[in-house]
Amino acid sequence: MKYSQAFIPTLREVPSDAVIVSHRLMFRSGMIRKLGNGLFAYLPLGLRSFRKVEQIIREEMNAIGSLEIKPTVVVPGELWKESGRWDSMGEALLRLKNRLGLDFVVSPTAEEAFTSVVRDELSSYRQLPLSLYQINTKYRDEIRPRYGVMRGREFVMKDAYSYHTGDESLDEHYQAQGRAYRRIFKRCGLTVIPVKADSGAMGGTGSEEFMVESEVGDNTLLLCRVCDYSANVEKAECKLDYSPRFDINLAKGAASRTPSMEKIATPEVRTIEELCSFLKTGAKSFIKTLIYRALNVELDLSGAPGCGSLKQQKTAPGAPASYPEAFFAVAIRGDLDVNEIKLAAALKASEVTLAADADVRRITGAPVGFAGPAGLAAVPVIADFTVTGMNDAVTGALEKDLHYRHAAYGRDFEAWLIADLRTVRAGDHCPVCGGELYEKKGNELGHIFKLGNKYTRSMNVSYLDEEGKSRIPTMGCYGIGLDRTLASIIEEHHDDAGIIWPATVAPYHVIIIPIKYEGTVKTAADTLAAALEHAGIEVLLDDRNERPGVKFNDADLLGIPWRVVVGEKNLAAGKVEARRRSEKENRLLDLKEAADKLSGWIYGEIGELNSQC
Amino acid sequence: MKYSQAFIPTLREVPSDAVIVSHRLMFRSGMIRKLGNGLFAYLPLGLRSFRKVEQIIREEMNAIGSLEIKPTVVVPGELWKESGRWDSMGEALLRLKNRLGLDFVVSPTAEEAFTSVVRDELSSYRQLPLSLYQINTKYRDEIRPRYGVMRGREFVMKDAYSYHTGDESLDEHYQAQGRAYRRIFKRCGLTVIPVKADSGAMGGTGSEEFMVESEVGDNTLLLCRVCDYSANVEKAECKLDYSPRFDINLAKGAASRTPSMEKIATPEVRTIEELCSFLKTGAKSFIKTLIYRALNVELDLSGAPGCGSLKQQKTAPGAPASYPEAFFAVAIRGDLDVNEIKLAAALKASEVTLAADADVRRITGAPVGFAGPAGLAAVPVIADFTVTGMNDAVTGALEKDLHYRHAAYGRDFEAWLIADLRTVRAGDHCPVCGGELYEKKGNELGHIFKLGNKYTRSMNVSYLDEEGKSRIPTMGCYGIGLDRTLASIIEEHHDDAGIIWPATVAPYHVIIIPIKYEGTVKTAADTLAAALEHAGIEVLLDDRNERPGVKFNDADLLGIPWRVVVGEKNLAAGKVEARRRSEKENRLLDLKEAADKLSGWIYGEIGELNSQC
């Protein structure tokens, strides 16, 4: 391909909103242009690399027996109503009505579309397991799209969905997907951090996220300095300061050695910090108590304090019964934060949020800032493990400007439910080996997830087992964002001058720069390009009438793995000058051997990246 | 690929709405399933053929130097407002608002998105010509989607847009696109009817549609029995009964030999048919006069009858001035129909529709049914060529229950504008050679179109020419519907038993059917499959535990070009039985030579389809 015919509009300047490296370099190198906020057009250079990422993903999916299909991007709203997500998904779901008033969704993910296809075809256990995938356009109505294609509104995702007769088969495919993901990222030259987590909620029984480190990452990861433990902060556990094998008698014993609980006046004091400075003590001595509102609570609340009047309902036929709304007091040691994902999992709730002030006043009988577990009867108390070991604590007294001190678990209050609710942070200890945990910011590129029967149940999918009995298949889902993967490759592979593409995903393998595209230089450049292309190497030939400096800068910016300079002086000695984009030194090559040598090096790098991991 | 792992759910029954062959066969062979009205999921078998069509199109676009890009499917409404199509496109345009209240469009076509990308990058004539394309999801909000993927709501289209400094460059690329389209359809095994037409309106100066014959086609084509003239009825011309070189003196001379015009009572008579029977004469003696309402008329109406109070406006900056609304009386010989596309082109109007009854009464001073050109002063009269030769005609007298007879052009009335307005029909004569025209129904698979500067002007695209002067580029657009192309291949290549794929677009090249997949039969089938795959042949191995009859029926239904049956009896003699899907007779092949022979035949067929046309 001749540069002058390739439509590669490079730039020196970048838009002010391009704050991360990949966004800046994709713009500058003419890979993408903005069509609107969070909407990008891939130009020819960008699309070439994009298609290579796409092909790597396709090959690895095919290799594990997943079958490619192509549902639509615009999907009937009916399917999303069946699954319940029409209501439960937030506003990031782009809903629309057509001219006939019918509801549609621009797919952000496709559990419904796939499950509807499978539902209509599935009859026998002999058809399972079945794994299907698509590589297709998705839309997520981000309020603040940013970081270029890293967090756009429209993007392309590979999403696979698998259907199984049981957990063993699901686990087998889940593991195969995990291995495929590791190969995909390795082939793209990416260093990923696989983050395992037991997802708990939503019927899932396992999930793994594939993260790349990023200063602007959405996710906080906790990694162990000693072993290979890694977890998203949303789900991270840590070695507990107190034994999870809680013994109420031990607590009572400890409480008996504590002075009686007493009220103290704390005028104008509401936050933990204010209390600490007022009482001249540390946050670890406080029991922080927060009132939460939870939706669709599947946990059985019969007999729980204050829950006598709650009624269970079914959100959909076949769905388990749940309480549409319930309130809880959550107690945790004052220096810790509640992890709401863990809380939702403990309550089997679809969503938890801090209660409104009015609800806090109603439940605690006091203004916000004076909640505490002692004497609280209006709602169930959910305590983090840390609280069960506190027997001389300060906590809210359910009255304005009053706190308790000497509060002791087992004597002055007890929890209705004890659970691990803390947000783990750097400095906490690894739950596996006890090593110190540290934090990294990361972006999620892929996610594999055991869904269980959430969708197959709500959408009435069934098959007949070997004994002719109707059963609901179990399901997994597996996603990779292509745009993000491409941008992350640039985040990992660049220098001040531009991109440094791994050969597997480079838009071209070689850029040939004739110093002046005329005479013998032109002939030599053309001949070399033809020889390389004959060997299957993708060549960009810079035929522009530009100064060599401009061409060199553009070549560095574009990041093509090999640059070959054809100039009169070297050519007189039968030589051309080659340089690997990732290296500093030039190599003088015999023109006659150049094509062989270069293709050998390139195929070597591709082979290494594609080798099994 | 093993059949049992390929997810090919074949069916005997089809949905009642599957009325055309391709829809029925795509359903029955498990190529597609319905997700909603006009929304189809391609299953693995269907997607394989779909991707082959896609790849053929991509190769041919690349071969003519068009560059692939990938804009988004969801596009900011702003761009469509700039071009004016936000308002001018009908309700088939799927408009939507996101959560922030911003307007978006799910692209049905992408003139705006491409032109916006080009606008930002274009500065110099040296960057032109530039041709870009995408192969991407489109949405058209069909009210009554039908015929499967032939007229769905969501579909995939290849759309290319080219930008040029002038007509010569545009024409060169337009011709190259036309040649590419011919190659694409040939490679797909399709017989297309290229229909040339001078599009006239909307700034276009040329277009060609690529049609396939179809009993349910949207388009009526007129073809000449003698030469290769072919045209869409919307634009077809014919040899005129009267000379287009109209001479008013000749008309006046003829009129002078006609008795004076006189009113006749025609009570309760309104239609041409009623008049014919009432006056006992043929429709050719009547002047049919219809009142039309036209929008955005660019034709200069200064001095036209009844137009004194009309004011020109600009719909967009840079757009030509036009009259937002104007009314016209259109006169045509009674046996002919007005072609509204021709009428709109003659008036340079964006749209023409029959006027409402109230407008007809206001303009003609009479109820509907009594309009005529004689004495009509409220609006300009537009006459078809046929009318200029009528000098003893019957026509409405602008009064209830009254007509004129002996009406003569040039004496009793004259037109303000004379044009070719007739709808051509079978039996008319070819405008090129005079041969008889006949009709066919056709579906449009592709369309190439010289757009002129409609979009580049309204969207403010410019470049500097060699003299540093700012100029507006001229533009072409070129579309192919992939889903339609795929379905049309099936329409052309099938028999009662199923599909008969051309080898270039077949989902697999060979289906191997072991009579029983066990023992030596299994070994032979596996070995043959491996040998074929080694030669690059795509093989489906029917490993199912089904009766041979079921397997044979499915193989015929799927339409794979070659079927190889491996059975114990033939195998004992070292033979297998091969049959081309398009032929009746079986060929006994030596097992050892089978892979070579089959791959030779298959590559032969592929080579022939891919050869230049």
Residue B75 has a pLDDT of 96
Q: Each residue of A566-590: pLDDT tens digit?
A: 999 999 999 999 999 999 999 999 9
What share of chain B has pLDDT > 70, as a percent?
97
List the one residue out of A103, A114, A54, A51 whose CA is nearest residue A81.
A103
Q: Cβ of B41 and A143 within 8 Å?
A: no
More confident residue, A123 or B200: A123
Strands A539-541 and A562-566: unpaired
Q: Cβ of B79 and A35 within 8 Å?
A: yes
Q: Each residue of A255-293: pLDDT tens digit?
A: 888 899 999 998 888 788 888 888 888 899 999 999 999
- Angstrom distance (rounded) from CA A504 to CA A188: 6
Average pLDDT over residues B91-98: 89
Place of tokens 């990938």: B70
List the one residue out of B161, B145, B164, B162 whose CA is nearest residue B153.
B145
Contacts of A74 in chain B (CB under 8 A): 39, 94, 106, 139, 153-154
Residue B613 has a pLDDT of 66
In Å, how far are A4, A46, A542, A547, A563 from A551, measured between CA atoms?
Answer: 12, 19, 7, 7, 11
Q: Cβ of A7 and B67 within 8 Å?
A: yes
- Which of B72, B149, B533 to substitute to test the interface with A, most A CBs within 10 Å? B72
The total of other beta-carbon atoms located within 10 Å of residue A497's CB is 14
Q: Which helix (H) or strand (E) holds A613?
A: none
Choose among B37, B68, B143: nearest Cβ to A44.
Answer: B68
pLDDT category of residue B197 using cuts at 50, 70 and 90 = low
SS3 assignment, position A247 = coil
SS3 assignment, position A539 = strand
**In A266-370, which residue ranges form alpha helices assigned H by DSSP?**
272-279, 340-347, 357-364
List the one residue out of B435, B387, B346 whose CA is nearest residue B241.
B387
* Residue of chain A with shortest Cα separation from B133: A44
For residue A31, give the DSSP letter.
S
Q: Cβ of B36 and A76 within 8 Å?
A: yes
Q: How many CB pairs under 8 A join A and B?
A: 146
Residue B204 has a pLDDT of 43
Q: Each residue of A428-480: pLDDT tens digit?
A: 999 889 999 999 999 999 999 999 999 999 999 999 999 999 999 999 999 99
Q: Cβ of B35 and A78 within 8 Å?
A: no
C-alpha distance from B47 to closest chain A C-alpha (Å):
6
Average pLDDT over residues A512-527: 97
C-alpha distance from A498 to closest chain B C-alpha (Å):
21
Q: Cβ of A41 and B154 within 8 Å?
A: no
Mean pLDDT for chain B overall = 93
Average pLDDT over residues B292-311: 93
Residue A198 has a pLDDT of 56
Mind giving me the DSSP string for B189-201? T---EEEEE---S
Q: Cβ of A137 and B73 within 8 Å?
A: yes
Average pLDDT over residues A137-166: 95
* Residue of chain A with shortest Cα separation from B10: A121
* Residue of chain A with shortest Cα separation from B92: A99
Choose among B36, B43, B137: nearest Cβ to A69.
Answer: B43
Mind giving me the DSSP string for A14-26? --TT--SHHHHHH
Q: Each residue of A230-259: pLDDT tens digit?
A: 888 888 888 876 655 677 888 888 888 889
Average pLDDT over residues B175-198: 92
- Angstrom distance (rounded) from CA A229 to CA B589: 60
- Which of B43, B47, B79 to substitute to test the interface with A, most A CBs within 10 Å? B43
- Angstrom distance (rounded) from CA A52 to CA B236: 46
Please provide the size of chain A in residues. Answer: 613
Residue B203 has a pLDDT of 39
Choose among A73, A136, A141: nearest Cβ to B98.
Answer: A141
Q: Each residue of B16-65: pLDDT tens digit?
A: 889 899 999 999 999 999 999 999 999 999 999 999 999 999 999 999 99
- Could you list the beta-strand ranges (E) of B11-71: 32-36, 39-42, 67-68
More confident residue, B341 or B523: B523
For residue A542, give the DSSP letter.
-
Mean pLDDT for chain A overall = 93
Contacts of A35 in chain B (CB under 8 A): 71-72, 75-76, 79, 113, 116-117
Choose among A72, A106, A136: nearest Cβ to B39.
Answer: A72
- Which of B10, B55, B73 to substitute to test the interface with A, most A CBs within 10 Å? B73
List the one residue out of A138, A86, A481, A140 whose CA is nearest residue B99.
A140
Residue B343 has a pLDDT of 94
For residue A125, give the DSSP letter.
G
Residues 6+ apart with CB under 8 A from A175: none
CA A601 to chain centre: 35
Average pLDDT over residues B400-424: 93
Pick the range with the lowest mean pLDDT from A263-277, B197-211, B414-428, B486-500. Answer: B197-211
Mean pLDDT highest for which of A81-90, A603-612, B319-328? A603-612
Average pLDDT over residues B64-79: 97
**In B310-371, which residue ranges form alpha helices assigned H by DSSP?**
340-347, 357-364
* Residue of chain A with shortest Cα separation from B154: A72
Buried b (16+ CB within 10 A) or exposed e, A206-235: bbbbbbbbbeebebbbbbbeeeebbbbbbb
Residues 6+ apart with CB under 8 A from B504: B52, B56, B187, B188, B189, B605, B606, B609, B610
C-alpha distance from A350 to closest chain B C-alpha (Å):
22
Residue A480 has a pLDDT of 98
* Joined tokens for residue B491: 């329409």
Q: Cβ of B33 and A78 within 8 Å?
A: no
Average pLDDT over residues A349-361: 94
Pick the range with the lowest mean pLDDT from A354-358, A410-414, B133-137, B204-208. Answer: B204-208
Q: What pTM does this model have?
A: 0.87
Residues 6+ apart with CB under 8 A from B132: A7, A44, B66, B67, B68, B69, B114, B117, B118, B160, B161, B162
pLDDT category of residue A613 using cuts at 50, 70 and 90 = low
Contacts of B50 in chain A (CB under 8 A): 70
Q: Each residue of A301-312: pLDDT tens digit?
A: 999 999 999 999
Q: Each residue of A50-74: pLDDT tens digit?
A: 999 999 999 999 999 999 999 999 9
C-alpha distance from A517 to closest chain B C-alpha (Å):
17
Domains and CATH numbers, chain B: 49-235+439-490 (3.30.930.10), 248-419 (3.90.960.10), 501-610 (3.40.50.800)
Contacts of A160 in chain B (CB under 8 A): none
Residue B200 has a pLDDT of 38
Asked if B114 and B146 touch (Cβ cutoff 8 Å), the reply is no
Choose among A113, A137, A154: nearest Cβ to B41.
Answer: A113
Q: What share of chain B is helix, strand, coil (3-state, %, to 5)?
A: 30, 30, 40
The predicted complex's ipTM stands at 0.87
SS3 assignment, position A313 = strand
Residue A317 has a pLDDT of 65
Residue B228 has a pLDDT of 86
Average pLDDT over residues A196-223: 75
Mind giving me the DSSP string for A576-607? EEEEETT-S--EEEEHHHHHHHHHHHHHHHHH
Average pLDDT over residues B338-358: 93
Q: Cβ of A120 and B33 within 8 Å?
A: yes
